[in-house]
Structures are given as C-alpha cells and as structure tokens.
DNA sequence: ACAATGACTGAAT
DNA sequence: AATTCAGCCATTG
C-alpha cells in the first residue's frame, strides 16, 4: 500500500459504525468527500480482509440495503448471520427496516 | 503510461 | 414503476 490514505479513511469510518447499524458505500464516500468514488469504498473493503483491527465490512451494504458484498465473505451466510446477531433483520439478503438501522456518518459524526 | 477492474450510484428509457 | 445504461475514480497488471 504505497499510499493507503483513502483506504485508511474508509476503514476508520467503517469501524465507527456502531453494532446494530449499517451504512452504505455512497454515504462513506460522501463523508470522505468523494461521493463519486463509491466503488473505491467497495474496493477498499475487498482489501480489508487482512487489516487490523478487523473492519466490520458486514455493516456496509449498498444504498438499497442489499447485501451486495455477501458473496465476498468466506461463507455467503456469514454476512447475514453477523447482521442478524447484531439485531438487524435480514431477509433474502435484504435488510429490513433499512431506514431505521441506517447509520449516516455525515449525520452521526457531524459536529453537535 | 495505458487499459482494465470493481462489494456503487444516479439518471435515462 | 421497473429495468437498463453510463459515469466515476483509486488500485493493479
């Protein structure tokens, strides 16, 4: 990683996501000032397998609340299982009550 | 240095 | 309203 600045930022934001909440790639990208680089966020997650502390990539889904990245986990059910264990309802790889569990860094990490 | 890739998103049809 | 198309931008070969 010659210049993991972007990844580091992504990891940091993802790690800030509280248990029982989820966020979207676009929200993270926007918080980092790169709202159009949502794909890079997903790519960062792809590299986040061996980073430490561990990055809760299971709390990051696409803007529709769909577990788009579940296929990248060792077990396809690992992502849904972890979300369910945190109190998030997932049916058919789709997060239920997505608007209630959605965690927007721009709103939560904003200056109070 | 060029071209291709990708866990997305928004706009157009 | 649902599906399709194109843009976007950092990293890798």
Stretch A6-18: mean pLDDT? 94
Supply A72's token pair: 């990248």
pLDDT score of A46: 92
Residue A79 domain flag: yes
Q: Which domain holds residue A71?
A: 6-101
Structure confidence at residue A23 (pLDDT): 96
**A10 CA → B8 C1’, Å:** 15
Structural domain tally of chain A? Answer: 1
| CA of A39, C1' of B11: distance in angstroms | 17
Cβ neighbours, 10 Å, residue A7: 19
The enclosing H or E element of A52 equals none
Could you tell me whether strands A23-24 and A60-61 are parallel, antiparallel, or unpaired per DSSP bridges? Answer: parallel
CATH code, domain with A60 = 1.10.10.10
Percent of chain A with pLDDT over 70: 97
β-bridge partners, A106: none
- Read off the pLDDT of residues A57-106 as tens digits, 9 standing for 90 and up: 999 999 999 999 999 998 889 999 999 999 999 999 999 999 999 999 99
Half-sphere exposure of A90 (CA within 13 A, CB side): 26
Answer yes or no: are the C-beta atoms of A70 and A92 closer than 8 Å.
no
Q: CA of A61 and C1' of C4: distance in angstroms?
A: 22
Residue A2's pLDDT band (boundaries 50, 70, 90)? low
Percent of chain A whose pLDDT exceeds 90 = 77
């Amino acid at each position: 990683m010659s210049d993991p600045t972007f990844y580091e930022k992504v990891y940091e934001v993802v790690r800030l996501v509280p248990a029982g909440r989820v966020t979207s790639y676009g929200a993270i990208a926007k918080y980092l000032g790169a709202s159009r680089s949502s794909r890079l966020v997903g790519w960062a997650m792809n590299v986040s397998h061996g980073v430490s502390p561990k990055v809760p990539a299971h709390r990051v889904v696409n803007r529709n609340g769909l577990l788009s990245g579940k296929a990248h986990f060792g077990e396809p059910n690992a992502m849904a299982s972890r979300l369910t264990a945190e109190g998030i309802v997932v049916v058919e790889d789709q997060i239920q009550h997505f608007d209630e569990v959605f965690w927007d860094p721009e709103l939560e990490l904003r200056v109070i």
